[in-house]
Structures are given as C-alpha cells and as structure tokens.
Amino acid sequence: MNKEKLRHLFLFMILGLIWSGCSKKSVEISDTSSAYLIETKAQIKNDGDTNSVTIEIALLPQQAIRMEISATLGVSVATVVMTPTQISYLLHSNKQFYTGPFHEKTLYPVFKKNIDPTILWRVVHDQVPQSAQLKCEVDADKRPLVCRDSEGTLVKWQYLADHRRRIDITSNRFEMRWLFTHQSVMSNYQNETFVLKKPSDYKEIIIR
C-alpha cells in the first residue's frame, strides 16, 4: 500500500474515532465550551462544471473549524482548518499546503472563485454574516434570510426541521447549494483535530 493510500486510510480512521465519540441526537449549537460535528453535503457549480461533495465539519465555536471535503466514493479533496484570523488547507490532488490570513482571495485554489472565508465561518456558526460589504435581512428570530453585496454575491437560507438548513451561495458564475443535515456534540475530541500541519511531501504556499 503506497503512502497516499495509507494517509487516506489514517484520515478516515481519525474521522471514525471522532464519529464514535459523538451523540447522534441533533443538537443546537449553543455551548461555546463544547465541540460539534456537523454533517453537510454540497453541490458546487463553477463555470459550467458541477460537482457534488460531502463536507464533514468539526466546530469549536468561535475558536476553530475543520472541514474534510470528499468527492464521490469518499475520495479526499481538501482539508481546511480556520481560526478567526487564519486559514490553512491541504489540496490532496496536487499535494499543496496553503496557509495565511483571511482575505477574499484566500480560498481561490479550493473553489476557483474568490469566496470570502468570513461568509463560510459565519454560515457554519449559524450566524448572520453581515459586514461592511455584505448586507443582510433577518427573520423575527434574528436568523439570516438573504445577504447580498454590490459585487453580485448572494447568500440565501432555508430552515428545515431538526436544525437542518440549506444555504445557497452564488457569485460570478459560481453556485454552491449547501445542505446541513445533522449536528451533534463531540464528546471526545483532541486539540490536534483543529491543527493542520504540512505533510512532508506537500509543497507549502504562503497566502499573502
């Protein structure tokens, strides 16, 4: 078995251990001292290409997010770790490790479009992503409904039962339909879950 297959096997073993320590009861993200596991699926359209991915999210509220992005048949596409100011990610197909501060071009290598990571951070936290550039409308419960900016970015929410929700993000011939299907408390997790290190055989690229 080659090193790449061993690395993928190790990754899925770690995710399996995380799953085994989680309650399957759907919970509300409210306790900032707890970590959460969030199951999501997304369909991404970009310049005519359509891809469906699974995004498993480990969330330490207001501190860190880890996203494992997998394509069909569980093929690992990317691993992303975000803090309030920094982001690091691995692109597994070309063995590249990116790290640097938040800005609008940070995630271009992942999505091939400039998607503001602040939007993803707040969407995962189930918060209104309003900023100086993004203006939002909320419902009676202060939940976001629609956000838009002057550059054509549009974010829409649909709220379903049991904390399920769908978020549609569109921007410049890019569409992402993101369905959050389940969230549970991670009763047993390691600090290393929210740390991303460069594998020895990956090229490091510093985000400026």
pLDDT tens column, 152-168: 899 999 999 887 999 99
pLDDT at 22 over 80: no
Residue 163 has a pLDDT of 79
What's the distance, Cα to Cα, between the start and end of the chain in Å? 37
Residue 195: pLDDT band by 50, 70, 90 thresholds? very high
pTM of the model: 0.82
The yes-or-no verdict on residue 85 having pLDDT over 80 is: yes
Question: Which of 132, 121, 5, 109 has the alpha carbon at shortest distance from 62?
Answer: 121
Residue among 41, 64, 74 nearest 189 (CA) = 64
Type and span of the H or E element at 110: helix 108-111
Residue 163 or residue 97, greater confidence: 97
Give SS3 for 6: helix
Token look-up 């399996």 returns 16
Distance CA 94, CA 108 (A): 15
Report how far residue 30's alpha carbon sits from residue 27's, in angstroms, rounded to the nearest whole number: 9
Rounded to the nearest integer, the mean pLDDT of the chain is 84
- What is the rounded CA–CA span in Å between residue 91 and residue 96? 5
Each residue's pLDDT tens digit, 42-81: 999 988 889 999 999 999 999 999 999 999 888 999 999 9
* C-alpha span between 174 and 162 (Å, rounded): 29
Residue recorded with tokens 């993004």: 134
